Every structure is written in structure tokens, then in C-alpha cells.
Amino acid sequence: MSVQQHALWQNRWTFILAATGSAVGLGNIWKFPYITGEYGGGAFVLVYLFCILTIGVPIMVAEVWLGKRGRHDPINSLRRICHEAGVSGGWTVIGIAGVLGGLLILMFYGVVAGWALEYVWQSFKGSYTTTNLALEGHFGELTASSGQQIFWQTIFMLLTCGVIAAGVVQGIGRSVNILMPTLLLLLIMLLAYSLLEGDGASAARFMFAPDFSKLSGEAVLVALGHAFFTLSLAMGAMLAYGSYMPDDAHVGKTVLTVAALDTIIALVAGMAIFPVVFANGLAPGSGPGLMFVTLPLSFAAMPMGNFFGGLFFALVAIAALSSSISLLEPGIAWLEEKGVPRVAGAIGLGLVAWGGGLASIYSGEVFDFLDKITAQYMMPLGGLLIALLVGWALPRQWVRGSGELAAGSYNAWYLVLRYITPPGILLVFAHSLGLL
């Protein structure tokens, strides 16, 4: 085994929770429902699930395995692995792109998490019953006020940098233990509520009855990008977390658990939101405001709506926090190995991400650009490189001999990673460029 520079999590559960904390975030609760709404529903969901299974999960296994084998920050893990295998050091670009990409994502992610914090504040003020928080107006006002958005984004970034500076191993490991189950519980409560009170039948039809005539090339690319985004792939996060994985944790089994939890939470979020959309005659394709406009409608009509609304948006912010930490960690770990203390790294990279956040607040185009360039281009390309590195360039014996996957699943995984995943990604690119 290589030298262990990093701390390790105590057991496989802490890894599962931290990785789930990274995977489950705004992607599941905010982004998945609104892009499903924009790209037409059922067919989009089906393509997304297909991408998770044939592209996301195989790459996630490969990425976590790379981290566990490398035992360093993403860039140095890759450098060492390539050196040891005698392959080109050029593959290190996966780690570099991951560190940069994580920062780029954080530049709009922190803004959205800030919106969630503002909704927590509104709930504490009792706004669900006293003002028109439930109406579209509030979201419009919030996103029109740069001052308010800067304030809440700043708070969120301070929280992120605070946890990062304190060290991920202790803080995050312990907190996700309580927070993740609570979030799931609340989502299920909202699901039950919206099925009882909302239009569950229309929602189910919208989400699960595929109409392929609505599926554009762009939709397929967005679905692929989202499979990467929601599983936190190709941004160094899984590489970094894999490097903290205890020796006796099994990569195959743990990754499957994380991916399953992530997918279930996204589907539950969709089924908590769309019944409200249809019951209130709202447009499913109304964009990034979807969650912020629909869920307050449920809370306003609920007994103790201010309480549940506040709790829910607080948990959304916490889910975002456990993801944003993993967006920053690869860069911090890399700086740490260069001798920069965590606190200094957290301040430096935090300021960079915060500054980018200002740009997203002042310009909707920057916001959209950051989202698109990361999810639709950097992540699929990074994933393609991970699949090629582990599936083709590194010695086959390395993964097989590591015992990280049971023999049967190893064979299936290796086959998919080599022959399905890379062509799958290329096909989606070709399709979205109109070449197919």
C-alpha cells in the first residue's frame, strides 16, 4: 500500500455518508426537477436513469478506486498512479480540470444555496402565513436584488470555508450522519403531502410516461451532464473522498449504495414538486425558480407551514453545504500537499469562488455559462478520460487484483467501462452537435 498522507475515515459508513453528502445536494432537489420540467419529463428521466447506470456508476467506481489507490489529493494521486503504471503523466489533466471545475461550480452553487438560506430566514419571520412568499413574486424580488443575494451567498461561503478549514474528516463525517436521514424523512413527508393534496396522477404521468418526441439532442446532453453532476463525478470530489476511504471498505458496494440513495432522493424530490405544479396550474418548465415557487405553496397550505418550510429549506442548505465542501476539498487537499495550511487555502480558494459568485449574481449569462460549461462539457469529458485511463491505459490486474469488486460485478463493470461508457459519451456529444 502507498504511503498514507491523509487521514482516513473510521469506517465505510462514514465514507458512504460523506460521499452521499457530496452527491445529494442542489442537483437532486433543485436542479433535477427543474430540468426535468424544461426538457419535457418522462423521456428525459429515462435517459437520465440510463446514463446513471451505464455511464455514471461505472465512472464513479473508477474514480473512487483511483482515489483509494492514489491516497493523495486528486492531482498527485493521478501523477503517482501514472508514474507507477508507466503511462503518460498527461492523464493528470483529469485532476487539474477537477480542481478548477469544482471552483467553477461553486461560483453558481453558492448563489443558489444562498437563496435557500434566505427562504429559511423568511420562514423564521413567519412569511408563509403573512406575506406572499408562496407566490412567484418573492422569488422574483430576491433574484432581482443583488444586495440580498450577495449577503446570503456570503453567509453560505463562510459556512463552507469554515467547515473546510476545520477539517473534513471530523465535522462532515459526523454531521451528515444526522442530516441526511432527516432530509430524506422531510422529503418523504413533503411527498406524502403533495400526493394527498396535489395532482399526483399528472405528476407521475409527466415524470414517468416517456414521450420521445419531446427529446431533443440538447436534452440528451443535459441528461448526461446531470448524471455526472448529481453523482459528483469528474470534479476530483470522488477522487479526494476515495483517498480518505478506509482500507477495508469495498469500492463496488459502497458506490452502489451512494448512487442508489442519490437517485432515489432525486426521484422523490420530483414527485414532491410536480404534483404541486400541476395542481396549481404552474408551468413545469419554469426554470430555476421551480422549487422556490412551488414548495412554498405546499408549506403555506400546511399546518405549521412556517416551521416545516424553514426546516426544509435549512436542510436544502445543509445538503448544499455537504456538497460544496466536496467541491472545494480537491483544491484544498492539493494546496495542503504543497505546504499551504488548510485555513489559508480555505480563505484563498473561498475568495476566488465568492468572487465568481458575484459575477453569477450580476449576470444571468455568467450563471448559465458556468452551469453549462461544467455539467455539459467538463464533466462528461473528464469522465471519458477516467473511463479510458482505468479501462484501457492502466494494467488490468490492478483493479481486478485489488478485490474492490466481487468477481461477477468486476467483469460486468470492466466490460461496461471499456465498451459502453466511452462510446456512450461520444454518442451523446455527436448527437447534441447534430452529427447523428
List interacting residues with ligand PHE (CB under 6 A).
22-23, 25-28, 105, 229-230, 232, 235, 237, 323, 326-327
Distance between CA atoms of residues 9 and 18, nearest Å: 9
Distance between CA atoms of residues 16 and 129, nearest Å: 39
Distance between CA atoms of residues 251 and 68, nearest Å: 9
| 40, three cell numbers | 419535457
Q: Where does 125-167 have alpha helices with state H?
A: 127-130, 136-144, 146-166
Least Cβ distance, residue 370 to ligand PHE (angstroms): 12
Pick between residue 306 and residue 322 the one whose CB is nearest to ligand PHE.
322
Half-sphere exposure of 61 (CA within 13 A, CB side): 32
Least Cβ distance, residue 330 to ligand PHE (angstroms): 9
Pick between residue 108 and residue 278 the one whose CB is nearest to ligand PHE.
108
Distance between CA atoms of residues 233 and 97, nearest Å: 12
Least Cβ distance, residue 181 to ligand PHE (angstroms): 18
Distance between CA atoms of residues 258 and 188, nearest Å: 18
Grid-cell match 443583488, residue found = 146
Contact yes or no for 108/360 (Cβ under 8 A): yes
Pick between residue 102 and residue 422 the one whose CB is nearest to ligand PHE.
102
The number of residues in the chain equals: 436
Pick between residue 300 and residue 325 the one whose CB is nearest to ligand PHE.
325
138 CB burial (10 A radius; 0-12, 13-18, 19+)? buried
Grid-cell match 408549506, residue found = 299
Pick between residue 47 and residue 394 the one whose CB is nearest to ligand PHE.
47
Phi, psi of 94, deg, nearest 5:
-60, -45
Q: Which of the 8 DSSP states describes residue 3?
A: -
Residue nearest to ligand PHE (CB): 27
Distance between CA atoms of residues 328 and 102, nearest Å: 6
Pick between residue 47 and residue 106 the one whose CB is nearest to ligand PHE.
106
Least Cβ distance, residue 104 to ligand PHE (angstroms): 10
Pick between residue 20 and residue 194 the one whose CB is nearest to ligand PHE.
20
Least Cβ distance, residue 263 to ligand PHE (angstroms): 11
Least Cβ distance, residue 287 to ligand PHE (angstroms): 17
Pick between residue 114 and residue 198 the one whose CB is nearest to ligand PHE.
114
Least Cβ distance, residue 229 to ligand PHE (angstroms): 5
**Which residues have C-beta within 8 Å of that of residue 1, sequence separation ≥ 6?**
71, 247
Distance between CA atoms of residues 17 and 7, nearest Å: 16
**Which residues have C-beta within 8 Å of that of residue 160, sequence separation ≥ 6?**
106, 110, 321, 324, 325, 328, 350
| 224, three cell numbers | 448526461
Least Cβ distance, residue 242 to ligand PHE (angstroms): 13
Pick between residue 326 and residue 421 the one whose CB is nearest to ligand PHE.
326
Pick between residue 305 and residue 345 the one whose CB is nearest to ligand PHE.
345
Least Cβ distance, residue 48 to ligand PHE (angstroms): 12
Half-sphere exposure of 239 (CA within 13 A, CB side): 34
Least Cβ distance, residue 109 to ligand PHE (angstroms): 7
